[in-house]
Amino acid sequence: MAPEAHYPTSVAKKATTRKKVSRKKPAEPEKLDAFEHPVPGQLGEILGQDKAIAQLEAALDAGRLHHAWIFHGPRGVGKFTAALAFASLALDESTSRDLSGNLSADPESRVQTMLHGRSHPDLHVIAKELARFSEDAKVRAAKLATIPKDVIDTHLLQPASMAAKVAPGGAASKVFIVDEAELLDRSATNASVQNAMLKTLEEPSPGTVIILVTSSEERLLPTIRSRCQRVRFGPLARDPMETWFKRENIGDAALDWARRFGEGSPGKVREAIDTGIVEWHTKVQDMVDRLVSGHFPVEMGQTLAGMVDAWAVAMVEADKRASKEASNKAGADRMLSLIGEILREKIAQHAESGNEDAMELSAQRIEVLERARQRLASNTPMLMVFEAMAAELAQPSTLSGV
């Protein structure tokens, strides 16, 4: 800190005392032990992704794994869970087909013991939350809206260039899983994050496997996508979803909503229950019903924006490092999905009654939602987007019986 300035009384019009500025010491990085990934499960127990699992098992059976993968599909359908299970089998030399023909590893093997203790040094899970453990105070202080280059350098590029810490014996010696890889942003300020990965993706050290898990594959550079094997994960069909509901003991109050609006995504249902999104349904359903019956709720846009903003505030209060802007965008996306599912349900009802005009109007309203998504993506203020959307949703409601 610079010393205080002292002036002779002959030149000073008024004696002043400069206040000492208290400089806040940057917070120390958290201990990396605080970041824990889930324990890997069994690949064959993942629900509703038979085609994806068959593709992964065939690769393991072949004995030579491609070094770079993209697991893509809607959020909450098992991509990250599958990546962990795939890594568990790839790292373990005991992986083989059992008497029933299932691909599995010895649960008491050294590798499985380490994996279940979250202590295997060659399984690296990279997520935006690792920014909290950076040595760089600026990285630690930034909101968790992207995966910073510092995180990729420290937790992927550097360890990928080093030898495995456990004597290799499986199909892979090191596995890196990048969750929410779409947050390796393509914007002008973050394109270098993806570009920095290209050489490692093209020429990794022997035995290195990198898995990019994403619900927005289009946000990855074409040069990234071209170097990777792609595995598609789709929404779960009805039977696997019902199995999941029973497994998770979803209560009756949430079960009806989940069946109608879960979109085949267990993760979406779990998030909706845990974060209160399920409570939006009654209010939003009422507004949509009024709107499509010709009674435009003038407060709709403001009400929707207020609900999303309150949800985003709760997310930030639960995690002070979370980005309010990112939480608003996430909440708005979930709100549009909810309205879309309500409208799709109406299309199904109109189809049963043979009301083709009403079906067409509901389809037009779904197109309005897509325009709203585009406006949000272009950073138009959320309140403006929802108010414009509400007005546009009301426009085609001139026919009765919609």
pLDDT digits (tens, 9 = 90+) for 149-181: 899 999 999 999 998 999 888 999 999 999 999
Task: Supply the mean pLDDT for the chain.
Answer: 85
DSSP, collapsed to helix, strand or coil, labels residue 293 as coil
For 246-296, write each residue's pLDDT tens digit: 999 887 777 888 887 788 999 989 888 888 888 898 899 999 998 888 888
Residue 329 has pLDDT above 50, yes or no: yes
What are 124's strand-pairing partners? 176
The answer to whether the CB of 82 falls within 8 A of the CB of 233 is: yes
- 156 compared with 12, residue with greater pLDDT: 156
CA gap 172, 122 in Å, rounded: 10
Domains of the chain: 49-232 (3.40.50.300), 276-394 (no CATH)
Reduce the DSSP state of residue 402 to 3 states and report it.
coil
pLDDT greater than 50 at residue 145? yes
Q: Is the pLDDT of residue 129 over 50?
A: yes
Give the residue among 92, 107, 108, 98 at the shortest CA–CA distance from 60: 92
**116: pLDDT strictly greater than 60:** yes
Q: Select from 263, 273, 337, 272 the least CA-distant residue to 48.
A: 263
Helices (H) and strands (E) in the chain, counts: 16, 7
Longest dimension (CA), the chain: 98
Q: What pLDDT sits at residue 196?
A: 87
- pLDDT band of residue 10 (cuts 50, 70, 90) is very low
Q: What is the DSSP string of 183-240?
A: GS--STTTHHHHHHHHHHHHSPPTTEEEEEEES-GGGS-HHHHTTSEEEE-----HHH
Q: Please determine, for residue 109, whether its predicted confidence score (pLDDT) is greater than 60.
A: yes
SS3 of residue 212 by DSSP: strand
- Going by C-alpha positions, the residue among 235, 326, 333 that lies closest to residue 277 is 333
Residue 333 in this model has a pLDDT that exceeds 50: yes
Q: Are 227 and 202 in contact (CB under 8 A)?
A: yes
Residue 70, classed as helix, strand or coil, is strand
Separation of alpha carbons 146 and 139, rounded Å:
11
Instruction: Enumerate residues 6+ apart whose C-beta is below 8 A from 297.
Output: 287, 290, 291, 303, 390
Q: Using pLDDT thresholds of 50, 70 and 90, give the confidence band for residue 190.
A: low
- Which region among 97-101, 227-231, 301-305, 355-359 has the lowest average model confidence (pLDDT)? 355-359
pLDDT band at 64 (very low <50, low <70, confident <90, very high): confident
Q: What percent of the chain has pLDDT over 90?
A: 50
365-379: average pLDDT: 92
Report pLDDT for 30.
54
Confidence of residue 90 (pLDDT cuts 50, 70, 90): very high
Helix (H) or strand (E) holding 325: helix 324-353
Q: What angle do CA 364, 393, 346 make, to 5 degrees?
A: 60
Tens of pLDDT, residue by residue over 225-257, are 999 999 999 999 999 999 999 999 887 777 888
Which stretch, 1-15, 28-42, 76-90, 364-378, has highest mean pLDDT?
76-90
For residue 234, what are the contacts with CB-CB under 8 A and spacing of at least 6?
48, 49, 73, 74, 77, 264
Token pair 């924006």 is found at 305
Are 64 and 171 in contact, with CB atoms under 8 Å apart?
A: yes
Output the pTM of the full model: 0.79
Average pLDDT over residues 30-41: 70
Q: Is residue 174 helix, strand or coil?
A: strand
